[in-house]
Amino acid sequence: METVKSIAIGLDVPESTVRLYRDEFEEFLPASGEGRRRRYPAESAERLRQICRWKREGWTSVQVRDALARENRPQERVRRRGAEDKLEDLAALIKQQSGEIGYLRAEISTLRAALQDLVRVLEYDVPPTMEDVVRASRREAA
């Protein structure tokens, strides 16, 4: 298994150029892993080397794609999640959490009121009557 960097070094081509070709023809280059951990099996690495040689010889992207399609069956193109997609996910999560926070604040407010009622009931020098307890529980239920 090889990395883009090792392929670029072997071809004496800038790594950014190899990455550009990798992205353009990714459906012909099966790999495992993501990001900088992505590795290419020998077959994919050799195919990427061939693409670099063809481009160096002046082949157009259409010519390269046609040659690759004749030799290999393209895989489904993988859509990489861009920054905008990730930001949209974060915005949706924040919106959802702000609703939950509002609900929790209301619950806390209700619990504080019930606690204050219980404290008032318990502050009596004499034990609360059953009416006091019922009144406090009705306020709590409301």
Distance CA 55, CA 64 (A): 8
Give, in degrees to the nearest 5, the angle at Cα 5 between 7 and 27. 65
| pTM, rounded to two decimals | 0.49
| 102 band by pLDDT with thresholds 50, 70 and 90 | confident
φ, ψ dihedrals at 82, nearest 5°: -85, 175
Summarised one tens digit per residue, pLDDT across range 46-92 is: 998 999 999 999 999 999 989 988 887 666 555 555 677 778 888 88
**In the chain, domain spans:** 4-71, 83-141
Closest CA to 60 of 91, 25, 93: 25
If you classify domain 4-71 with CATH, what class do you get? mainly alpha
Task: Report the pLDDT averaged over residues 88-106.
Answer: 86
Distance CA 137, CA 140 (A): 5
DSSP letter string over 14-69? -HHHHHHHHHHTGGG---BSSGGG-BB-HHHHHHHHHHHHHHHTT--HHHHHHHHH
